[in-house]
Structure 1
Amino acid sequence: MTDALLICDALPESRDAVKFKAPGRGPAFVVRWQGRVHGYLNQCAHVGGPIDFEGQVLERSGRFLMCARHGAIYEPDTGLCVGGPCKGARLVPLAVEESADGKVWLRSA
């Protein structure tokens, strides 16, 4: 894949995210939810701090991304905050894709 950054060789469906640094953008993560890969800057829309806790981004039910610091909950596929102190705001999405061999890539802007 040309003009792309390899994030990971495989991304299992779990509560854990793969964290990485997006060049020129800062801390970021990818997570698999319902079979698809989604990537965001690792910044809560509420105050900008990281949403993960030791790499975990999905809350207990596995239905939402959740900020470990403020409890804001986000839809994993859209980044829309649907509950908590920043309801209606969004995580900053990143252009990620999965190749046929299961590798996850960050596309360059």
Structure 2
Amino acid sequence: MSESVFLCASSDLVDSGEAVPFEVRYYSESVAAFAVRYADTVYAYLNRCTHVPMEMDYQPNQFFDSTGHWLMCATHGAMYSPQTGQCVMGRCRGGLVKIVVSEEAGMVHWHTSDKLQPNQAL
């Protein structure tokens, strides 16, 4: 059963700008995640490169390359499509783990799944 979890105000996300970070439980592990806006649509992914499972941002909440068109892993330079999370260049395997998000009435929510749950203190 999926539930909707408030993430941020819509105004917190600017096209190709800073991400809004959040934490999720991915299976049984606590994992960083992020949401960005690209081409006026919100997307969210686990903050985990597919080449080496480490966080991707080069500065806190900075994921876009200098063109503002690709999500970039700071460690090895892998580039991902912001719309799909698929690897488009560099060292990576497959794509980023997508988190379903919705935007309505000035609010962004992420949606749980059997793999992704809100991060609760253990």
**SS of match in other structure, 2:15:** coil
Task: Determine if contact 1:96/1:104 at 8 Å carries over to the other structure.
Answer: yes
The residue that corresponds to 2:88 in the other structure is 82
The residue that corresponds to 1:67 in the other structure is 73
In the TM superposition, what is the alpha-carbon distance from 1:89 to its structure 2 partner?
Answer: 1.3
Distance across 1 between alignment mates of 2:100 and 2:71: 18
What per-residue deviation string (whole Å, max 9, x for no partner) do you get for residues 1-52 of structure 1? x921111112222331111012x22210000000100010000011010111
**SS of match in other structure, 2:32:** strand
- Normalised to the residue count of structure 1, the TM-score between the two structures is 0.89
The residue that corresponds to 1:19 in the other structure is 21
The residue that corresponds to 1:92 in the other structure is 97
Aligned residues with identical type, % of pairs: 39
The residue that corresponds to 1:106 in the other structure is 110
Task: Determine if contact 1:15/1:59 at 8 Å carries over to the other structure.
Answer: no
Task: Determine if contact 1:74/1:83 at 8 Å carries over to the other structure.
Answer: yes
What per-residue deviation string (whole Å, max 9, x for no partner) do you get for residues 50-93 of structure 1? 1112110110001100001110000100111111111x510000
The residue that corresponds to 2:56 in the other structure is 51
Distance across 2 between alignment mates of 1:12 and 1:36: 10
Aligned partner letter, 2:108: V
Task: Determine if contact 1:4/1:105 at 8 Å carries over to the other structure.
Answer: yes
Task: Determine if contact 1:74/1:81 at 8 Å carries over to the other structure.
Answer: yes
- More strand by proportion, 1 or 2? 2
RMSD: 1.4
- Normalised to the residue count of structure 2, the TM-score between the two structures is 0.80
Structure 2 unaligned regions, length at least 5: 114-122
